[in-house]
A and B are shown apart, each in its own frame.
Chain A
C-alpha cells in the first residue's frame, strides 16, 4: 500500500477514533440519545397502541403492535438527532476555532468532511444498537438476522442524515441560530414521515400531507430500515437515500469551500 493511501486511512481512523472517544466521554450525550427514543417507545407508543391500529402491510407478515411499528422510525430518529448533533458540534467547533485544525490538514477537504461524516455514522451505530438491545429486552421481538442486515442500511441512512446536518452547519453563521434547526428541520422531517404512522393512514386524512411525506427523504430512511430489519431490501428507498446523501454531501463540500462557502466570513477571534 502506498504511503498516500496510508495517510488517508490514518486520517479516517484518527477522526473516527476521536469522535467515538468523545462520545463515550460525554455520558450525558449517550444517555440523552437513549432516553429520547425510549420515551417514545415506552410512553408515547403505550398510549397510542390502542388508538392506532396497524394493518398487515409489507414487510410485516402478520398483525404487529404499535411498538413494533415505530421501532424503525425511532432508529431513524436516533440517526437524525445524531446528524443534527454532529452539525451542532461542527458549528460550535467553527465558532470556537477548533474546526481550523481539521480544515488546515493537507488532505483534500472533501475527504476530511467525509471522514467527519463517517465518524458521526459510527457514533450513531453505537446509539442505535444500544437502543435496539434495550427495546428487544423490554418490548419488541426482531428477527436476529435483521440486526445484521440493517447495518449497511443504517450506514447509508446515517450518511444521508449526517450529510444533511453538515450542509446545514455550512450555512449557519452563529450557534444561536441552531435552535431554528429544531423547529424547521428535525420536527417537520420526523412528523412528516412514516416514522410514527403508516403513509396510507396519512392519506386518509390529507392527500397533501401524504404527498409531502412522499417527498421527505427521512421517510425513505425509515422504510429502508424497516424492510432491512425484516430481512428485505427496499431497493427504491435505499437508492433514494443514497442519492439524497450524495447530493447533501456535495452541497456541504461546496459550503465548506473557502472560495465560496462558509469560510468567507471573518475568522473567529
Chain B
C-alpha cells in the first residue's frame, strides 16, 4: 500500500513539476523503454513485463517513471550551479574581468551586485557564450562551457538587460519565435507557452502586441519566455532597469518565488541594493574583481555592516 501511495504522490508531484518524460520505444529485438526527462537527464531504463494486462502494464510504467523522477530530483539536488575559475576578459587593453572565481549554488537566488562598469554584463555574456574567455574556466550545471556550450545553453534561461521582445509581434508570437529558436514547435510549444504565461499571470495579455505592454509586463513576458524550455538555471542581467519601484519589487518577488518553488538556480545581476533579500547569496563585483561572495548575513557579519547598502558602499568605495 505504501509503495502504491508513494507512486501516486510521485506521479502527482511530477504532473505539478511541469517536467516532461519522453519515453522511447524499445529498439528492434529489445524490450526496454528509455525515459528521457525534459531537463535532458536520462531517466531509468524501463522494462515492464509485457505479459501484463494493459492497466497493470500502465501501472508498472508509471511506477518506473515515478522512480525515475525520484532519482532525477535527487540528482538535481546534487547538481552544481555555476562554477567559475580564474576568469579574465579584456576589451582590447581595457580589462573587464580579472581572475574572477566564484560559485553560484544550486537552487539558490544569487544576486550579482556591482556598480555600473563593474563587469556584470561581461560576466553574463561569458556565461551564455556570446563571448569567450581569454583565460579561465566556466562550468554551468556541471557542463564545461568551453567544451559543451550547446548542452549548457539548453539548460539555461536568459533575460538580457536590453529588452529583446519584437514589439510588432504579440506576446504569444514572441513566445512562439523563442520556442522555435529552442527547437520546440506544434502542440508541445503551445502547451508550454500557455503554462508559462499562466505562471507569470500573463495569459490574458497573450494576444496583445508587445508594444502595448508596460515595461514591467514586457519583463515578465521575457521571464516567461526564458522559462519556456524548463531551464535549470535562470540568468537575468539587470532586468529591472527602467522599471518603477512597484514593478521592480513585483519582479524580484516573482523570481524569488520561482527559485523557491521550482528549485531553479537564479543569478540576478543588478546595481540596486534593494533587490537583494536577506536570505539570498550575494556576489559583489567591482572593477572586474570579486570583492565579496557568500550568504548576505555572512557578508554583513564579515564586513561589520548593518545593511547591504552599507556593505556595498564599503566594498566598492576606493580609498582616497
A residues with a Cβ closer than 8 A to B are 3-4, 6-11, 13-15, 17-18, 21-22, 25-26, 96-98, 100-108, 112, 258-259, 263-269
Contact A106/B130 with A18-B169, A97-B162 known, Cβ cut-off 8 Å: no
18 more A-B contacts (CB under 8 A) besides A11-B182, A14-B177, A17-B180?
A6-B183, A15-B180, A17-B177, A25-B169, A26-B168, A104-B128, A104-B129, A104-B130, A104-B156, A104-B158, A106-B150, A106-B154, A106-B183, A258-B131, A263-B130, A265-B91, A266-B122, A267-B130
B residues with a Cβ closer than 8 A to A are 22, 91, 96, 121-122, 124-125, 128-132, 150-151, 153-154, 156, 158, 160-166, 168-169, 173, 176-186, 189
**B162 / chain A contacts, CB cutoff of 8 Å:** 96-98, 100, 268-269
**B189 / chain A contacts, CB cutoff of 8 Å:** 10
Task: State the CA gap A189–B162 with chains docked (Å).
Answer: 35
**B161 / chain A contacts, CB cutoff of 8 Å:** 97, 269
CB of B182 within 8 A of CB of A21, answer no
Task: State the CA gap A26–B166 with chains docked (Å).
Answer: 12
Contact A101/B181 with A258-B129, A267-B121 known, Cβ cut-off 8 Å: yes
Cβ-closest chain B residue relative to A97 = B162
CB of B185 within 8 A of CB of A6, answer yes
Cβ-closest chain A residue relative to B184 = A10
Cβ-closest chain B residue relative to A8 = B183
CB of A108 within 8 A of CB of B150, answer yes
Q: CB < 8 Å: which of A7, A97, A102 contacts B183?
A: A7
Task: State the CA gap A22–B174 with chains docked (Å).
Answer: 11
By Cβ-Cβ distance, the 10 closest A-B pairs, closest first, are: A14-B180, A7-B183, A97-B162, A10-B185, A105-B181, A106-B153, A98-B164, A106-B154, A106-B150, A25-B168
A236, chain B: closest CB distance, angstroms: 38
**A6 / chain B contacts, CB cutoff of 8 Å:** 183, 185
CB of B168 within 8 A of CB of A102, answer no
CB of B131 within 8 A of CB of A264, answer yes
Task: State the CA gap A6–B173 with chains docked (Å).
Answer: 19
Cβ-closest chain B residue relative to A260 = B132
Q: CB < 8 Å: which of B122, B150, B173, B180 contacts A11?
A: B180
CB of B183 within 8 A of CB of A100, answer no
Q: CB < 8 Å: which of B22, B128, B176 contacts A14?
A: B176
CB of A14 within 8 A of CB of B181, answer yes
**A106 / chain B contacts, CB cutoff of 8 Å:** 150-151, 153-154, 182-183
CB of A101 within 8 A of CB of B122, answer no
Q: CB < 8 Å: which of A21, A100, A264 contacts B173?
A: A21
A105, chain B: closest CB distance, angstroms: 4
**A13 / chain B contacts, CB cutoff of 8 Å:** 180, 185
**B180 / chain A contacts, CB cutoff of 8 Å:** 10-11, 13-15, 17-18
**B166 / chain A contacts, CB cutoff of 8 Å:** 18, 22, 98
CB of B132 within 8 A of CB of A259, answer yes
A70, chain B: closest CB distance, angstroms: 34
CB of B125 within 8 A of CB of A101, answer no
Cβ-closest chain A residue relative to B154 = A106
**B125 / chain A contacts, CB cutoff of 8 Å:** 267
**B184 / chain A contacts, CB cutoff of 8 Å:** 7, 10
**B96 / chain A contacts, CB cutoff of 8 Å:** 266
Task: State the CA gap A22–B128 with chains docked (Å).
Answer: 27
**A264 / chain B contacts, CB cutoff of 8 Å:** 91, 131
**A7 / chain B contacts, CB cutoff of 8 Å:** 182-184
CB of B130 within 8 A of CB of A103, answer yes
**A25 / chain B contacts, CB cutoff of 8 Å:** 168-169
CB of A21 within 8 A of CB of B131, answer no
Task: State the CA gap A104–B83 with chains docked (Å).
Answer: 19
Cβ-closest chain B residue relative to A9 = B185
**B164 / chain A contacts, CB cutoff of 8 Å:** 97-98, 100-101
Chain A CB within 10 Å — which of B22, B91, B122, B160 has the most? Answer: B160
CB of B160 within 8 A of CB of A18, answer no
Task: State the CA gap A33–B125 with chains docked (Å).
Answer: 36
Contact A266/B91 with A8-B183, A26-B168 known, Cβ cut-off 8 Å: yes
Task: State the CA gap A72–B91 with chains docked (Å).
Answer: 46
